[in-house]
Amino acid sequence: MMTKVKRSMLLALIGLILAAMVSCSSAEDKNNVAQTEQEKKQTVVRLEYWTPFSGGDNQFMTEMVDRFNAENPGIKVVQVNSRLDDYYSRLRTAIMSGSAPDLAILHQTSLPQFVQNGYIEQLSESAKQIGLDWTGFNKNILESTVYDGQPYAVPLDTHALVLYYNKTYLREAGLLDERSKPIIAKSTDGFTAFLQKLKTSIPPGVAPMAQPSTRIDSVWLWWSLYNQLQGGGAFYNEEVNNAVFNNPQALQALTYVDGLYKAKLIPPDINDSFKLFYDGDAAVLITGMWGTGAFEKADSLDFGVIPMPVLYDHPAVWGDSHTLAIPKKHGMTDEKKRAALIFAKWCVEHGAMWAEAGHVPSVTKVVASEPFNSLNYRSDYAATANYVAYWPRHVRQWSIVEILIQEFEKMNYSQQTPEQTLEAAVKRVNIELRK
């Protein structure tokens, strides 16, 4: 009887011991799982990413960020979007105060200021570590981001002027060929004749060509035509201490632009040329290729798009590029730099997503890919990237272009002649250079 009692007690004790072991094991497993999850959270690299996009651009970039985050759980990109109006002043202030983002979009035009002032990282070594191949970029686009032989930003695209046209109006005027492309002779006389024929055919109130009387559009058009002329395109002297664009080629191009306004082939007092074309109230619009994604959403608009016409000696067109740069930042770790470039590399490799906004991707294999070429319109102007005429490199180029805008507006409103416009602009730019 005692043997049975002892045996029962022994079995009960063994059961208690086993239960305790299972309980401890379970608790330990839970602790391990919790610890593993915590470690995973701790290894995620968070990147603050500043962008100046608006409208459709912002939508497409947000989609890219969301997709990257879903595909790369070890990196969390947090996009902070701002208005372009004050974007660069905010970014400069953040860099100088030590609170810069980890990654930022910079226009190519703004790069000289950020490079010269030491505001952004040089990327050659960091790019090697993540296998970023610079040879895969369009040479013209890449060159715009290289200083003293070293890359300072990853170019995302080029966005240049293109010519949008309303197929309905051109068809009625007999100005479409069998491929539904505009029939334009390659000369200034040919382009003028094209617009004059449109003017006689389109309904009253429709603009032959839409172009604002204010803002930068006429400056872009002049810069494109000036660079198309043999011997044209000079802005500064070799020492970059004097403006030299008051010359015969610059005057020839500007006189032609002024003539389009004078002949009312560009109607006066246009404020929003983009909306005018979108609403079907303009036959032709020369603006940036970022319009493509927006015009596709206009259900009643039957439009086409071609590169900027060559009216002089060779192809050239104003353009700029969005680039991805790493701001100089106190405490910026190598891990964050690597993550930032991994994201930049992913963006350029998925450039077909960004091309939905209308831009031409910077990587040549993306431009040759099926996803890019399956998009309507983009392949019609993709070659534009090869002959974009960027603004010259100067730390104050952005503000200097503002001077051109102000003087060109006076010409557009017949307050001064093209000769007076160039003379006044050069004088003001030279004063700015001496500050």
Taking the C-alpha atoms of 274, 276, 281 and 285 in order, what is their torsion angle to the nearest 10 degrees? -30
For 269, list phi and psi in degrees, rounded to 5.
60, 30
Taking CA 366 as the corner, what is the angle to CA 134 and CA 51, rounded to the nearest 5 degrees? 75
pTM above 0.85, yes or no: yes
pLDDT of residue 85: 86
> Can you give the pLDDT at residue 162?
98
- State how far the Cα of 369 lies from the Cα of 268, in Å rounded to an integer: 42
Distance CA 154, CA 143 (A): 11
Model confidence pLDDT, tens digit, residues 358-407:
999 999 999 999 999 999 999 999 999 999 999 999 999 999 999 999 99
Q: In angstroms, how far is CA 424 from the centroid of its own chain?
A: 31
Q: What is the pLDDT of residue 5?
A: 47
Percent of the chain surpassing pLDDT 70: 90
CA 214 to chain centre: 22
Please say if the pLDDT value at position 154 is more than 90: yes
What's residue 4's pLDDT?
A: 52
The alpha helices in 44-120, defined as continuous H runs, are 55-71, 84-96, 111-116
pLDDT value at 279 more than 50: yes
Question: What confidence category does residue 130 fall into, taking pLDDT thresholds of 50, 70 and 90?
Answer: very high
Judging by beta carbons within 10 Å of its beta carbon (0-12, 13-18, 19+), is residue 377 exposed, middle or buried? buried
Q: Please, what is the average pLDDT of the chain?
A: 91
End-to-end CA distance of the chain: 110
- Token representation of residue 297: 């959403």
Q: Is the pLDDT of residue 273 over 60?
A: yes
Structure tokens at 231: 């011997």
Provide the pLDDT for residue 44.
94
332-348 pLDDT tens trace: 899 999 999 999 999 99
CA distances (Å), origin 10, targets 7, 20, 44, 75, 274? 5, 15, 51, 56, 90
pLDDT of residue 54: 79
Let me know: does 88 contact 398? Beta carbons within 8 Å: yes
The predicted structure's pLDDT at residue 393? 93
Strands (E) located in 152-281: 154-155, 157-166, 207-210
pLDDT given at position 354: 97
Query: In the predicted model, is pLDDT for residue 98 greater than 70?
Result: yes
CA–CA dist 255, 417 (Å, integer): 8
Q: Is it the case that residue 307 has pLDDT exceeding 70?
A: yes
CB 131 within 8 A of CB 78: no
pLDDT of residue 331: 81
Residue 29, pLDDT above cutoff 70: no
pLDDT in tens, 201-253: 999 999 999 999 999 999 999 999 999 999 999 999 999 999 999 999 999 99
Say which range, 32-41, 192-201, 246-255, 350-359, has the weakest mean pLDDT: 32-41
The pLDDT confidence band at residue 31, using thresholds 50, 70 and 90, is low
Residue 34 has pLDDT above 50, yes or no: no
State yes or no: pLDDT of 60 exceeds 60.
yes
Cα angle: 191, vertex 210, 413; to 5 degrees: 100
pLDDT at 220 (0 to 100): 98
Tell me: the pLDDT tens digits for 7-22? 555 555 555 444 444 4
Res 124 pLDDT > 80: yes
Is residue 151 pLDDT above 70, yes or no? yes
Q: Helix count (H) and strand count (E) of the chain?
A: 19, 14
168 pLDDT above the threshold of 70: yes
pLDDT on residue 155 = 98
- Closest by CA to 110, choosing from 394, 406, 329, is 394
